[in-house]
Structure 1
Amino acid sequence: MTDSRLAEPRYAIYFAPPAQSPLWRFGSSIIGYDAETGRDLSPPAMRRFEAQDWREVTSEPRRYGFHGTLKAPFRLAPGREEAELRAVCQRFAGDRARFACAGVQLVTLGRFLALKTVSTCAALDRLAASAVTAFDEFRAPMSASEREKRLRAPLTARQQEYLDRWGYPYVFDDFRFHMTLTGPLDEETRARAQAELAALFALSGADGPLIVSEIALYRQEDGPFRVLARYPFGS
């Protein structure tokens, strides 16, 4: 893909909790953005951060909206249309049945904080693996600059192979479902943020089972990603 195409919309296939659920409300309020409505949100009252400082802490996840990645962001391949992608989303979801995972918990992943499933959820891993392959025909090849940016992270040989084949290094055996809440933080800031988020999550009512009953198609144009459509599972 030439760099001239970088201005085109990007799409992603995500897991997004129901828009009225405690988990969606918690995650969206933490990152300061509701991807369902496209509205910026004020952060909850915090003891350890000023509001503007917290906006800096969450600037990176705010660009993507609250989500768990199934098929990482991509631009449409030449000759592909959004309507085709929507149709495949509907068929993909219609062929699947809802399931439940044990729930999510606050964790540290490298330098950032996220929500992660309490225990391995094989059904969720299978869903993500299926999404990686099912939607790859819609993915334009990475530009040279996009690939260079990805390679700045320390990747294993297998992850580099995944990057070149699937456009994203953390798929299949290297997939770890998570829902990002902060950008990369230094150790002191991360410790403060973890204490703050742990207290807020405990009060959120979002600690029940993680019900997966639909996928969401997100689109990014000039601003952050936004929910374009949700596709319920068939049963």
Structure 2
Amino acid sequence: MQFRRYAIYHLPGAALGDFGAGWLGWDARTGSTPPRPEGLPDPAGALIEVPRRYGFHATLKAPFRLAEGRRPEDLALALQLLCDHLAPFTLALELRTDWGFVSLRPRQQPPELLALESSLVTRLDEFRAPLTPQEYERRRPDALPDQARRHLEHWGYPFVLELFHYHLTLSGPLPPARAEALRDALAPGLAPLIAEAMPVTSAALMGEDENGFFHLIEDIPLRS
């Protein structure tokens, strides 16, 4: 399959990964539409329209076009070499509403997570094509804080490094009351799945197809 953009994500596995993929209606691991968990609200319209095509994931290096002369297999090899020196860890998750989005976020971001994100953002940036003017403007740079705008200009994405926050998105942007209602509706099904810390043992190389849906290319273990 030919891909127009690439990204590095963390894809939760086991029952939590199945729940998230079923809720969003797209399993990026298998490239299929899984059955939806029972007892949940109808995930129509703004609830999942934005995050669905990305799958249930946390962004580690945001989607980018390959730089001229770079090949997907070279990107995969570079990611493997990085993961050989990065350590697995666990995250204690909580269900939250932040900035109008419902998501799972860690109670704390351990050093291993920050090392993973910063290594992927900086060490793989030679594979990223520069933003086009249209891509740059879509990030609304004039509305960003100064440091976020500098990151956008240098790394192609505003919320990286010291501005990075791991999150597993479960909705598109919603009014506050609707976001809180969705959080409350999802909480009973998610509670047993996040009762124990979630292991993070790999980084996923992803590709975006012509319809805008992301697919797992390779899930690479953290082997340090």
TM-score normalized by structure 2? Answer: 0.92
Identity of aligned residues (%): 35
2:106: which partner in 1?
A: 117
Q: Return the letter of the residue paired with 1:13.
A: I
1:169: which partner in 2?
A: 158
Q: Return the letter of the residue paired with 2:121.
A: V
State the alpha-carbon separation in 1 of the partners of residues 191 and 96 from structure 2. Answer: 14
Shift of 1:96: 2.0
2:202: which partner in 1?
A: 214
Are residues 198 and 154 of structure 1, via their aligned partners in 2, closer, same or farther at CA, if it must alter by over 3 Å? farther
Equivalent pair of 1:98/1:212 in contact (CA under 8 Å) = yes
CA deviation vs aligned residue, 1:35-83 (integer Å, no higher than 9, x gap): 1111113432336x335x3x64111111111111111100000110011
1:4: which partner in 2?
A: none
CA deviation vs aligned residue, 1:101-149 (integer Å, no higher than 9, x gap): 3x11111120111100022322101210111001100000111111111
Alignment of 1:124-143 (within 5 A): 124-143=113-132
Q: Return the letter of the residue paired with 2:38.
A: A
State the alpha-carbon separation in 2 of the partners of residues 232 and 135 from structure 1. Answer: 17
Query: Which stretches in structure 1 are left out of the alignment for 5+ residues?
Result: 1-6
1:76: which partner in 2?
A: 66
Aligned residues: 222
Q: CA RMSD in A?
A: 1.8
CA deviation vs aligned residue, 1:176-198 (integer Å, no higher than 9, x gap): 11111100011232122111111
The alignment status of 1:11 with 2:6, answered yes or no, reads: yes
CA deviation vs aligned residue, 1:2-21 (integer Å, no higher than 9, x gap): xxxxx961100111123xx1
State the alpha-carbon separation in 2 of the partners of residues 176 and 231 from structure 1. Answer: 21
Are residues 171 and 33 of structure 1, via their aligned partners in 2, closer, same or farther at CA, if it must alter by over 3 Å? same
Query: Which stretches in structure 2 are left out of the alignment for 5+ residues?
Result: none
TM-score normalized by structure 1? Answer: 0.88
State the alpha-carbon separation in 1 of the partners of residues 62 and 153 from structure 2. Answer: 13
Shift of 1:153: 7.6
State the alpha-carbon separation in 1 of the partners of residues 195 and 126 from structure 2. Answer: 36
Q: Return the letter of the residue paired with 1:196.
A: A
Q: Return the letter of the residue paired with 1:76.
A: L
| 1:24 counterpart (6, 14, 17) | 17
